[in-house]
Amino acid sequence: MSGPRPSRERVAAVAPGLADLLSYRVRWFGKDVTAGLVLTALLVPQGMAYAELAGLPAITGLYTSILCLVGYALFGPSRVLVLGPDSSLGPLIAATILPLAGAEGDPARAIALASALALLTGAIMVVAGITGLGFVADLISRPAMIGYLNGLALTILVGQLPKLFGFSVDADGFLGEVTGFFSGLGATVPAALAVGAVGLVLILVLQRFLPKVPAVLVVVVLSIGATALLGLAARGVDVVGPLPQGFPPLSLPDVRLSDLALLVPGALGIAVVALTDTISTSSSFAAREGRTIDGGREMTAIGASNMAAGLFGGFPVSTSGSRTAVARQAGRGHGPS
């Protein structure tokens, strides 16, 4: 038995992603670059949109998207699972931090509270993973996973419909969002609807006739070009506008002990939702390849991802089934997991 092998096994036991780098194949690089470009095109606008959904500045979504992926890349056992800001967590984050941020809505305080919430969520999941609570994954049946994912997809679809038509809906719950959508159709922005509809049609056409072309990336690039050339911002199409430059420093959030006590219940709820998302998504994709997942490792990895985001001004994250599917379609997920 040679010396390096036990060392690599020890690395794999602590940081599977880091161990994977030791066995990386150059032939994977092309597909990885394609998948990276496609995911970047998705993660940047989605991350900023979900940050605003959580009551935070849009730029924090960009920071969160980057750091959580780095955390999972080091500690995550899956080569295809994609984490990031998520619509299912946005309302939970907002409900937890906005009352503490005060009526003034101080952005700096909101960011500090969200970062502390991410660190608490991450710590809860890391402890749960290390202490063997990953067996929870075995208690979630396949029909329950399918039902959860389908329900989540329907909820996200309804939540995004108003944005497709160029307006927003302030409503609570699925039925409230459905009612709000139909009530707000009179406020439709034609330019926004045109951009969204053409983009959807183009994605479907490219996926049908040119499946190897990254359809989502093509649509994002064309949409950016159309917005700039046609001046769509002046026609009612919402744009993010200029963002701050640079990257936040590594730091602990400046919050009071009394704040932490109030953040713990929210962190527990977010941890449960994030765990359900992660186990459901990872199990679903692993089942397609005849594999099983290690619930403990998944919990530890998503905990590390949340802690990485929290140390750089980010907020809690979860797994995204839709973005994972895009990554897989774009070419990621080669080799063993």
Q: How confident is the model at residue 15 (pLDDT cuts 50, 70, 90)?
A: low
What is the total residue count of the chain?
337
**Which residues have a Cβ under 8 Å from the Cβ of 96 and sit 6 or more positions away?**
113, 117, 263, 265, 266, 267, 270
Q: Which amino acid is at 142?
A: R
Tokens of 110: 């909101």
Name the least confident of 140-154, 157-171, 173-187.
Answer: 140-154
At 257, the amino acid letter reads L
Whether the predicted pLDDT of 165 surpasses 90: yes
Least Cα distance to 309 among 2, 75, 66 occurs for: 66
Q: Token pair 């619930």 is at which residue?
A: 295
CA atoms within 13 A on the CB side of 109: 13
Predicted confidence at residue 111, as pLDDT, reads: 92
Residue 6: band (very low, low, confident or very high) from pLDDT cuts 50, 70, 90: very low
Q: Which residues pair with 84 in a beta bridge?
A: 318
pLDDT band at 163, cuts 50/70/90?
confident
**Cα dist. 214→205, 231, 323 in Å?**
12, 26, 13
**C-alpha of 27 from chain center:** 28
| pLDDT for 190 beyond 80 | yes
Distance between CA 184 and CA 190 in Å, rounded?
Answer: 13
Question: Apex CA 329: angle with CA 81 and CA 25, to 5°?
Answer: 70
Q: Residue 2: how many CA atoms within 13 Å on its side-chain side? A: 3
Is there a contact between 278 and 297 (Cβ–Cβ < 8 Å)? no
**Cβ(223)–Cβ(229) under 8 Å?**
no
pLDDT at 4 over 60: no
Residues in contact with 248: Cβ distance below 8 Å, sequence separation at least 6, in sequence order: 63, 312, 313
Contacts of 278 (CB under 8 A, 6+ apart): 81, 298, 299, 302, 318, 319
Residue 306 and residue 266 in contact, taking contact as beta carbons nearer than 8 Å: no
Q: How far apart are CA 264 and CA 316, in angstroms?
A: 13
Residue with tokens 């699925």: 174
Verdict on whether the full-model pTM lies above 0.75: no
Q: What is the DSSP letter of 84?
A: E
The segment with the largest mean pLDDT, out of 21-35, 104-118, 188-202, 279-293, is 188-202
Task: Express each pLDDT in 74-103 by its tens digit.
Answer: 888 877 788 888 877 887 888 889 888 764
Query: Taking the alpha carbons of 324, 326, 329, 330 in that order, is the dihedral positive or negative?
Result: negative
Q: Name the H helices within the chain.
A: 4-14, 16-22, 29-53, 58-75, 90-101, 107-130, 142-164, 173-183, 190-209, 215-230, 257-287, 295-310, 321-330
Question: How much is the average pLDDT of 222-235?
Answer: 89
Residue 82: what pLDDT? 84
Return d(Cα 177, Cα 184) in angstroms, integer: 10
pLDDT of residue 11: 54
What is the band of 154 on the pLDDT scale with cuts at 50, 70, 90? confident
Can you give the residue ranges of every domain in the chain? 28-149+252-330
| Distance in angstroms (rounded) separating the CA atoms of residues 90 and 84 | 11
